[in-house]
Amino acid sequence: MKILVCDPIAPKGIELLKARPEFQVEVLSRRHSEEELLPLVSDAVALVVRSETRVTRRVIEAARSLRVVGRAGVGVDNVDVEAATQHGVVVMNTPGGNTISTAELTMAMLLALARKLPQAHASMVAGQWDRKQFSGIELAGKKLGILGLGRIGSEVAKRALAFGMEVFGYDPFLADARVKSLGVRLVNEVDELYRVADFITVHMPVTELTRGMLNASAFARMKPGVRLINCARGEIIVEEDLLAALERGQVAGAALDVYATEPLPADHPFRKHPALILTPHLGASTKEAQEKCGVEVAEVITSYLLTGEVRNAVNLPYLDAKTYEQVKPYLVLGEKLGRLLGQLAPEQVDRLYITYGGRARELPNVDPVSRAVLMGFLSRTGMGTINTVNVRSIAATLGITVEEKRSNEPVTYNEWLHVQVFQGDQKVISAGGTFFGSPQNPRIVRLYSMPVEIPISGHILLLTNRDRPGMVGHIGTLLGRHGINIASMNLHRDEAGGRALTVLHLDNAPDRSVLEELERDPDIDNVRLVYL
Ligand SMILES: NC(=O)C1=CN([C@@H]2O[C@H](COP(=O)(O)OP(=O)(O)OC[C@H]3O[C@@H](n4cnc5c(N)ncnc54)[C@H](O)[C@@H]3O)[C@@H](O)[C@H]2O)C=CC1
Ligand SMILES: O=C(O)C(=O)COP(=O)(O)O
């Protein structure tokens, strides 16, 4: 399996990958453009990147064997995650590995801004001795506003509090309890923070809400003379608006590690501005952070490719080992239920309704099971590239929605997984399953609202027939004549003499002609052969 390391990661990470005989590791010595990458990725199973290489849709589409993109770091904005998802490619990052390094850089920026360190140093290098111009301010007693109190934001908060700063935080997605334990004052409206903060530091990802959030209007609502720090992502600040706010003195200074365009163009006006402190995206560039991220990215990629374990995926919910053990039997049952329904349902369906009843209701996470049901169902499309990563997105593209319900209603079985298929409001087919004795023994026990008992593998022949004496013998003889051996057979009838649903588990698949012969019998109809 070819692993293409596109950006420089720690040698330890590369060694770990190289230690696996299954992997053939290629390391690029410099950043490659999209065009240059295309021929190199065609046979790659994994790509390893930091923030420099752009893994675009074209790159993903050119990489036909690609299964995983590993990002040694946090931000995945250089990876087209949507395209990856659609193509069944897992995107994994290493959150946490560079948290401390970035928080420490932020503190360095804070101090550098307060004491004008880079400017003072530059004047010394230029032969000057100017104490007046570089007089600064203390951090103690000043108010720090943190936008985004995640991993890095909260580490910055701890350090700023130790410096005697008053810390305000804005993060609408954070649980209150965590903030309280930090000693940060959480504001509900960002303006409350803008009004009071002497320093504002940004620690959010780029999202639809945060892109361009620090613009002219935001600067105007901030305390005059505010100082800004951005060690998160350049696109969060509108760069021209920052320059204008600096000109007016509304913003007194800013320390930036990240830019809308990276590398920052050589002639960018930022480079000449005296109130700006600039670093070339160094937040994660420490020995320690690189080692942690490099090793972790190698580990998560290796586990995924060699065992299927999913850790740190940004486009697939996390599944810890314990939860995985609990859901595992349901993955098999769900996939088989989906597969059965996929073969029996009419072509255009638009909704699957999945009910988790009995003990299934208590599963810690039903998402993987629903994905398994969908995978089974969509196997009828013959698309060989459907996997857990892209199955929901493929279903959405096909116009199929999925609803899941944990039901409290009493059920006959201890565990109950039931799937109904709809065309508009019309239920077209449904099936339910459970385990017999142990989770290793899944069974389909309801079909077309009738009790059945269908083993979950092999060739299954389903037919409806008139409940009349001799029918079983007749079907058995007919199949026997064509050399088809019946492994098991069960009949389910609504009433004596009425319609019966017959389910036969066959050792081998009958030809089309045998099915037609069965269908010619006036007492037999709906002959369907499925393979589970
Ligand atoms: N300069 C550098 O080299 C580095 C930059 N980063 C960047 O730093 C940023 C933060 O990283 P982490 O703390 O590890 O991420 P995180 O995911 O732990 O924290 C991000 C926080 O931002 C919050 N957030 C999201 N949208 C928000 C909004 N609209 N308003 C307010 N808060 C919002 C989230 O709720 C979350 O708590 C990311 O953009 C990451 O890419 C990370 C590492 C190194
Ligand atoms: O982890 C992140 O989000 C970073 O920005 C670090 O980027 P890098 O790995 O240093 O190119």
Q: How far is the CA of 173 from the centre of ligand 1 (A)?
A: 11
Which listed residue (233, 311, 339, 446) is catalytic?
A: 233
* Whole-model pTM over 0.90: no
7, 54, 98, best to mutate for ligand 2 pocket (most atoms within 8 Å of CB): 98
Please tell me the predicted confidence (pLDDT) of residue 307.
84
CA-CA distances (angstroms) from residue 364 to 35, 298, 320, 330, 512?
Answer: 44, 28, 11, 12, 44
Please tell me the predicted confidence (pLDDT) of residue 384.
67
Mind listing the domains of the chain with CATH numbers? Answer: 1-94+285-310 (3.40.50.720), 99-278 (3.40.50.720), 317-436 (3.30.1330.90), 458-532 (3.30.70.260)
Asked whether the CA dihedral 236, 238, 243, 248 is positive or negative, the reply is negative
Please tell me the predicted confidence (pLDDT) of residue 174.
77
Ligand 1 nearest atom to the CA of residue 231, by list position: 1
Adjacent-strand bridge partners of 143: 166
Closest CA to 25 of 301, 358, 379, 339: 301
Q: Is 32 a catalytic residue?
A: no
The whole-angstrom separation of Cα 526 and Cα 463 is 5
pLDDT along the chain (532 residues), means of 10: 97 98 97 96 98 97 96 95 90 95 98 97 97 96 96 96 97 74 91 98 92 98 98 98 98 98 97 97 98 97 88 81 85 96 92 96 93 94 80 87 92 94 94 93 92 90 88 89 90 77 91 91 92 93
Amino acid at position 419, single letter: V
Residues 270 and 276: beta-carbon distance below 8 Å: yes
